[in-house]
Amino acid sequence: MNIMYMKKLILVLVIVFSGVIAKAQSDTDIWELVKTDLKVEYKTILVENMVFTDAEAEVFWPIFNEYMLKKNANLDQNMAILKDYAEHYDDLTDEKIEGLVKQTQSQRSTRLKNRNAYYKSLKKALGVRKAAKLFQIDGQINTLFDFQLASQIPIIE
């Protein structure tokens, strides 16, 4: 993966998430902007790291767009869990914590299911090597996103 674009992505994530949790509680438009920016950055990284023939591009982009719709829905679910956590942080009961953990497990399970379906579709359309490369890029972006997001979330007291 192109180091310049990875550094750019990290910088964007740092800037975007340096307070998004608090702002997202009162302004959902910010979250929509974050998702839009992430999609643009994601596409930029893909374009810089992948070479598609016209025929491959014609097949790839609809698969990508469908995946991004599912990914955004999953991000919305994640943000809803985080907003709930933030709203109740000062008065978390064991029952609330248990509910948040179950919601998080379900959200992560859905994300993995979506990623696996994405890989399967890519493999069928583009072959194993390109599918694996795209899957690897997606995984690295997810890891950076998760790391940056996790660094903004306070640990339960």
Rounded Cα distance between 127 and 4, Å, is 27
Within a domain: residue 107?
yes
State the SS3 of 67-81.
HHHHHHHHHHHHHHH
Give residue 24's pLDDT.
Answer: 46
Within a domain: residue 132?
yes
* pLDDT tens digits, one per residue of 28-87: 667 777 777 777 888 888 888 999 999 999 999 999 999 999 998 999 999 899 889 888
Give residue 47's pLDDT.
Answer: 85
Please tell me the total count of domains within the chain: 1
Query: Residues with Cβ < 8 Å from 83, sequence gap 6 or more?
Result: 21, 24, 25
Within a domain: residue 130?
yes
Within a domain: residue 155?
no
Under 8 Å between Cβ of 54 and 70:
no
Within a domain: residue 128?
yes
Within a domain: residue 27?
yes
Q: Which domain holds residue 142?
A: 3-150
Q: Is the pLDDT of residue 9 over 60?
A: no
Within a domain: residue 156?
no
Locus of tokens 């014609």? 58
Within a domain: residue 138?
yes
**What is the model's pTM?**
0.77
Helix axes 54-88, 94-126, angle to 10 degrees: 180
